[in-house]
Structure 1
Amino acid sequence: MPFETTTQVRFSHIDAAGIVFYPRYFEMLNSAVEDWCAQALGQDFRTLHLHRGIGVPTVKLDVEFVSPSELGDMLTITLSPREIGRSSCQLHVVFSGDERVRLRANVVLVCMDLHTRRATPWPEEIRARIQEGIAYAI
């Protein structure tokens, strides 16, 4: 099932033109991934990082900026898992607001052992939840 979360465009997100400065979208995207891990995958970043020694860094990011966002806009961020590998996961992400798509992205995350700094297989319970999301999208 696609995962949705929301965020509001804040003053700290905008530039002198009054629209979201593009790197701020990446910060919002990372927050959405953090919410997805906690709410959809059942593992918050505190547990993953501090207790399990696992990180989920972005290793590939393909983004299309479709329409600008302005101060005060409420954005819905939808994450849809598309593929899962041994240690990677591909997500399709859409930012939208006021019935307009603002941004589309394809993201590849990797499950990483924080001690060795190398890719590691997804824990089975996390893999199962990601696969549920993929099955829903088909």
Structure 2
Amino acid sequence: MRFVMPQKVKFKHCDPAGIVFYPRYFEMINDCVEAFFDEALECPFEDLHQDGGVPTAEISVQFTAPSGHGDRLELALRCTRLGRSSLGLETEATCGGQRRFIATSTLVWIDGNGKSTPWPDPIRAKLDGWVQRAAA
């Protein structure tokens, strides 16, 4: 099971050559993660970040084709593993069926002091469902 977020490539995402400047992809990935927490987990970042957060502890991206101004990307997020306080994600961006990048990342649930802490039970249960469905 995947969480899908559309993303039109805007002028602000592009370099002078009209293609996406690679750091902008990291913003898109984070936007997709934020939308996933808000829409799929019903845990919006504005609530979550009041006394903790989910920083990215690790990220790796393979860029496979450029994207240009006006392209309509589809970012598909998949939960790959759930740890005590960590979450493995895979985010793939495609346009017209062509892969533009694939990213793997690890998020960590932290408390207000910046220490990793176990996922709250309600969020863990929802994440576990996403991991199980992604594996099926």
Tell whether the structures are fold-level matches, with TM greater than 0.5. yes
The normalised TM-score by structure 1 is 0.95
Q: What secondary structure is seen at the aligned counterpart in 2 of 1:26?
A: helix
Shift of 1:88: 0.3
CA shift digits 1:83-107 (9 cap, x unpaired): 0101000001101111100010111
Q: In the alignment, which residue of structure 2 is the partner of 1:48?
A: 48
Q: What secondary structure is seen at the aligned counterpart in 1 of 2:125?
A: helix
Q: Distance in 2 between matches of 1:96 and 1:126?
A: 28
Identify which of 127, 132, 135 aligns with 1:135: 132
| 1:11 paired to 2:11 | yes
Identify which of 115, 125, 128 aligns with 2:122: 125
Aligned residues: 135
Determine if contact 2:52/2:114 at 8 Å carries over to the other structure. no
Unaligned segments of structure 1, at least 5 residues: none
Q: In the alignment, which residue of structure 1 is the partner of 2:32?
A: 32
Coordinate RMSD, CA, aligned? 0.8
* AA in 1 matched with 2:133: Y
Q: Distance in 2 between matches of 1:32 and 1:46?
A: 15
The normalised TM-score by structure 2 is 0.96
CA shift digits 1:90-128 (9 cap, x unpaired): 001101111100010111000011x21111111111111
Q: Distance in 1 between matches of 2:12 and 2:134?
A: 34
Write out the 4+ residue segments of structure 1 that deviate beyond 4 Å after TM superposition.
none
Q: Distance in 2 between matches of 1:17 and 1:33?
A: 28
Q: Distance in 1 between matches of 2:115 and 2:76?
A: 28
Shift of 1:54: 2.0
* AA in 2 matched with 1:8: K
Q: In the alignment, which residue of structure 2 is the partner of 1:78?
A: 76
Q: Distance in 2 between matches of 1:99 and 1:87?
A: 34
Q: Distance in 2 between matches of 1:35 and 1:131?
A: 18
Q: Distance in 1 between matches of 2:134 and 2:117?
A: 25
Unaligned segments of structure 2, at least 5 residues: none
Q: Percent identity?
A: 41
CA shift digits 1:41-99 (9 cap, x unpaired): 1100011112xx12111110011001100001111110100101010000011011111
